[in-house]
C-alpha cells in the first residue's frame, strides 16, 4: 500500500514521467497502430533472481491515515464491488474498501466448485447441443450493470455480456447466481450493456424492464457465407432485451461499431459511443476519420416503428429490425437515431448523476466530449439541424481518455490510459471554457496510477445517488507492484479517496486477470438469501427415508439426500452402460452448511447449498467401486461422509 508525493498529485504533473509515458505511447502508435503504452518499451529478459524489495513511494507531508480505509476483522465493508472477469467468463464480488474477494460467480465458464456447467440445471441455462454437451464453454465478460428503480440500484439483478459468443446473462442478487443466458441473433462482439434506468412507456413502471446491448463487430447480414469480402454490406445491430423474459424485443441496424452503452434517467434515450464509422476491416482503415460518433436511440420512436411493422428480419431470426443508419434517418423529426460527431475512436460513454450530460472519452484524442441530454431531444424534435450542436464542452484532459465516473459535486473522473493517470475535471467549468471563458479551468487534479488504467468507476457513480467517496482504477499493467508470479501478472485495482479537493491513493488491491468494468454498490441495497426454500425444487427429496433407486430400462435415477454427516443412501448398484441421473437434496437448514458431491473417474463434482436440490446425468462405462464423497468440509465426520456406487460389468 502506498501513496504518491503530494507534488505528484497536483498540476503540473511530473514532466519527466509524462515525457517517458508519452514517448512510449507514440512509439507504440507509430510502430503498431494500436499497441499503446509501456508494454512497447519492454524487451524480453532472461530469468533472474528473486525480485528485490520495491521501495514504496513516499507519503505526502502529513501522510495518509490508512486506518480510515481498513476493515478490521469482524467488521463489514461499506460497499460491494461487482466486477467482470474478462476472459475467465465469470463475475467477481469484492468488498470495498478492504478489497477482499468474496465470491466468483460462474456465468459463461465451467466451475467445478459449484458444478456450473456440470449440473443439469446449469447446463440448461448455459445451453446445450442435442447430445447434451455444452454449446459453448468459454466466455468473455466485460460490462456488469445492475437493475434500477427510478435512477438507482434496486438490488434485484445484474446483467453481464459475453463478447465472444454474443450472449447476455442475468444474475440474481439474492443468491448471487446466474439464472438466465440468452444468445443475441446476428451479433458478434457484443460489448456494451446497460439497463433501463426508468421505463418511458408506462409512467407507473419505474424499474428496469429492458436491457440495451451494443455490438462491436460488423459482419455480413445474415452471416452465412455470402458477401464475405464486401465490407460495404457489413453492419452492426443494437439490441433491446426484455429484462424479465430475457428475450430480444427488437434490433436496430446502425453505421459504425459500438463500444459502451448508456441510458438516460428519464427513459427516453439510449446511446453508444462508436469507433470505425469508416467501416474498415483493418486498424489503419478504422483510424482514418478525425471524428467518430456517439449514436443516440429514441426508444419511444423505435418501439412505435416496431409496433407499426416498419421492420425487417435477418436470416432465420424472428426479432424485428428497424433501420437506424444515417441515410435512413436524415430528418430529425422522424429519425430513430442521432449520430453526434465526437473525436476520435472514442472509448466509453457515461451519464452524469443529474442526467443532464453524456461524457464521451476520446481515446485517440486528448479530449472528453460533453453532450447535453436536452439538446439531443431538441435535435429529435427538429429544433437543431446539426447533431454537433448538442455538444456543450470538449475539455483537453490528457492522453488516452477511456472511462468516466462522477461524484456528487459536479466533477468527473476520467482514466487516462496513455498518461497512466486519473484526471479530475469540473463539468460546469468545462462548459464555460467551451463557451470562451478563458478564466474557467476544467482540470482540477491529477493522480498517477500503476499502470495504464482501463476502466474506472466511482462509488454509486452510475446512479442519481453518487456519493463522491471513492474511485477505483482497474489498471492493465501491475509490474513492480506485487510479488512476481510468472509471466501472467495480476492486475492492479487502486482505490482512490475522492472525497476532498485532492485525490488520495489509499490502497492497492491485486486482482486476477482480466477485469474490465465494475460497479460499486452500497451494502444496504443488497439483500441476500442464506438458505433456500426446499419447496422451490419440484424434484427435491424432502426426507432421507425417501431416498431410492428407480430404473426404467437403461435409465437409472438416484433420489439422494445429504445431511451432515451422511448421504441418504450408503450405496447403490447400477450396470455398465446405464444413463444415471443423481438428484441430490441438502436437508440441512443451517446457514453456510454446504455439501459437495463428487464421483471419481466420472467428471462429477458439484455442491448443494442448504435446502437446495441439484442433479447430474452421466454414463457408467467403467465397472467397479466408486466412492461418492462430500467435497465441502461440513462436519467433524466430513471425511467419513461417503456412499458407494457399484457398477456391475
Cell 468473455 locates to 140
Ranges of the chain whose pLDDT falls below 70: 1-62, 201-203
Task: Give the DSSP H/E element, type plus range, for residue 272.
Answer: strand 269-275
Which H or E run contains 558? strand 555-563
Give the count of alpha carbons within 13 A of 526, CB side only: 25
Exposed (0-12), middle (13-18) or buried (19+): which is 527, by Cβ within 10 Å?
A: exposed
pLDDT at residue 459 in the model: 98
Q: What's residue 198's pLDDT?
A: 86
Q: Is 146 exposed, middle or buried (0-12, 13-18, 19+ CB in 10 A)?
A: buried
Strand ranges across the sheet with 504-511: 453-458, 470-475, 491-497, 504-511
Q: Which residue has the cell 461499431?
A: 257
φ, ψ for residue 631, nearest 5 deg:
-95, -10
Q: Which residues of 320-337 are buried (b: 16+ CB within 10 A; e: fewer)?
A: bbbbbbbeebeebeebbb
pLDDT in tens, 409-448: 999 999 999 999 999 999 999 999 999 999 999 999 999 9
**Contact (Cβ atoms closer than 8 angstroms) between residue 175 and residue 181:** no
Angle 207-208-212 (CA atoms, 0-180°, nearest 5)? 155
Would the CA dihedral through 549, 552, 553, 554 be positive or negative? negative
CA distance 508 to 490: 12
Closest among 195, 190, 153, 191 to 173, alpha carbons compared? 153
All domains of the chain in start order, with CATH: 534-648 (2.60.40.420)
Q: Are 238 and 255 in contact (CB under 8 A)?
A: no
CA 534 to chain centre: 32
Please report which helix (H) or strand (E) contains residue 20, including its range: helix 15-32
Q: In the prediction, which pLDDT does 10 show?
A: 36
Cell digits for 488? 501472467
- What does pTM read for this prediction? 0.91
Measured at the CA of 613, the angle between CA 607 and CA 615, to 5 degrees, comes to 75
Amino acid at each position: 500500500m502506498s501513496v504518491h508525493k503530494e507534488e505528484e498529485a497536483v498540476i503540473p504533473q511530473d514532466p519527466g514521467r509524462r515525457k517517458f509515458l508519452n514517448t512510449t505511447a507514440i512509439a507504440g502508435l507509430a510502430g503498431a497502430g494500436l499497441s499503446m503504452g509501456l508494454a512497447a518499451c519492454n524487451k524480453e529478459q532472461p530469468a533472474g533472481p528473486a525480485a528485490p524489495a520495491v521501495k514504496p513511494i513516499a507519503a505526502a507531508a502529513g501522510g495518509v491515515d490508512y486506518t480510515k480505509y481498513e476493515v478490521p476483522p469482524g467488521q463489514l465493508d461499506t460497499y460491494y464491488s461487482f466486477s467482470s472477469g474478462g476472459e475467465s467468463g465469470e463475475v467477481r464480488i469484492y468488498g470495498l474498501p478492504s478489497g477482499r474477494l468474496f465470491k466468483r460467480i460462474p456465468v459463461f465458464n465451467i466451475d467445478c466448485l459449484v458444478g456450473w456447467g456440470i449440473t443439469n440445471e446449469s447446463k440448461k441455462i448455459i445451453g446445450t447441443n442435442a447430445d447434451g454437451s455444452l454449446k459453448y464453454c468459454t466466455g468473455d465478460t466485460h460490462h456488469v450493470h445492475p437493475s434500477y428503480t427510478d435512477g438507482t440500484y434496486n438490488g434485484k439483478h445484474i446483467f453481464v455480456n459475453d463478447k465472444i459468443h454474443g450472449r447476455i446473462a442475468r444474475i440474481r442478487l439474492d443468491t448471487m447466481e446466474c439464472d438466465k443466458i440468452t444468445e443475441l441473433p446476428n451479433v458478434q462482439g457484443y460489448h456494451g450493456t446497460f439497463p433501463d434506468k426508468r421505463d418511458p412507456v408506462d409512467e407507473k413502471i419505474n424499474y428496469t424492464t429492458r436491457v440495451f446491448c451494443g455490438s462491436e463487430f460488423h459482419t455480413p447480414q445474415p452471416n452465412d457465407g455470402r458477401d464475405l469480402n464486401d465490407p460495404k454490406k457489413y453492419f452492426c445491430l443494437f439490441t433491446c432485451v426484455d429484462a424479465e423474459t430475457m428475450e430480444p424485443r427488437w434490433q436496430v441496424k446502425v453505421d459504425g461499431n459500438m463500444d459502451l452503452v448508456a441510458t438516460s434517467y428519464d427513459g427516453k434515450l439510449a446511446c453508444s459511443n462508436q469507433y470505425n464509422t469508416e467501416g474498415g476491416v483493418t486498424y489503419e482503415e478504422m483510424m482514418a476519420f478525425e471524428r467518430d460518433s456517439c449514436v443516440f436511440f429514441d426508444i419511444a420512436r423505435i418501439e412505435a416503428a416496431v409496433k407499426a411493422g416498419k421492420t425487417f428480419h435477418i436470416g432465420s431470426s424472428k426479432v424485428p429490425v428497424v433501420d437506424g443508419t444515417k441515410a435512413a434517418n436524415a430528418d430529425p423529426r422522424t429519425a430513430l437515431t442521432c449520430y453526434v460527431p465526437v473525436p476520435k475512436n472514442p472509448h466509453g460513454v457515461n451519464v452524469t448523476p443529474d442526467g443532464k450530460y453524456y461524457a464521451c472519452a476520446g481515446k485517440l484524442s486528448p479530449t472528453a466530449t460533453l453532450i447535453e441530454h436536452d439538446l439531443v431531444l431538441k435535435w429529435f424534435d427538429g429544433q437543431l439541424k446539426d447533431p454537433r450542436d448538442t455538444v456543450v464542452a470538449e475539455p483537453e484532459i490528457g492522453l488516452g481518455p477511456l472511462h468516466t465516473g462522477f461524484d456528487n459535486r459536479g466533477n468527473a473522473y476520467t482514466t487516462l490510459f496513455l498518461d497512466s493517470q486519473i484526471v479530475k475535471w469540473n463539468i460546469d467549468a468545462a462548459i464555460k471554457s467551451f463557451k470562451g471563458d478563458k478564466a474557467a479551468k476544467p482540470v482540477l487534479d491529477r493522480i498517477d496510477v500503476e499502470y495504464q488504467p482501463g476502466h474506472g468507476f466511482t462509488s454509486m457513480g452510475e446512479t442519481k445517488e453518487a456519493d463522491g467517496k471513492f474511485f477505483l482504477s482497474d489498471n492493465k499493467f501491475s509490474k513492480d507492484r506485487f510479488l512476481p508470479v510468472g509471466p501472467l501478472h495480476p492486475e492492479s485495482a487502486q482505490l482512490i479517496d475522492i472525497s476532498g479537493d485532492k485525490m488520495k491513493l489509499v490502497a492497492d488491491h491485486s486482482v486476477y486477470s482480466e477485469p474490465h468494468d465494475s460497479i460499486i454498490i452500497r451494502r444496504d441495497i443488497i439483500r441476500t438469501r442464506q438458505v433456500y426454500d426446499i419447496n422451490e425444487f419440484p424434484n427435491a427429496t424432502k426426507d432421507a427415508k425417501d431416498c431410492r433407486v428407480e430404473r426404467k430400462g437403461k435409465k437409472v435415477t438416484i433420489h439422494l439426500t445429504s445431511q451432515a454427516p451422511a448421504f441418504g443412501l450408503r450405496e447403490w448398484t447400477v450396470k455398465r452402460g446405464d444413463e444415471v441421473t443423481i438428484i441430490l437434496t441438502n436437508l440441512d437448514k443451517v446457514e453456510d452448511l454446504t455439501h459437495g458431491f463428487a464421483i471419481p473417474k466420472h467428471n462429477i463434482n458439484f455442491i448443494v447449498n442448504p435446502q437446495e436440490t441439484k442433479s447430474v446425468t452421466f454414463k457408467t462405462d467403467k465397472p467397479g467401486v466408486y466412492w461418492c464423497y462430500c467435497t465441502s468440509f461440513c462436519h467433524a465426520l466430513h471425511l467419513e461422509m461417503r456412499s458407494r456406487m457399484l457398477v456391475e460389468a
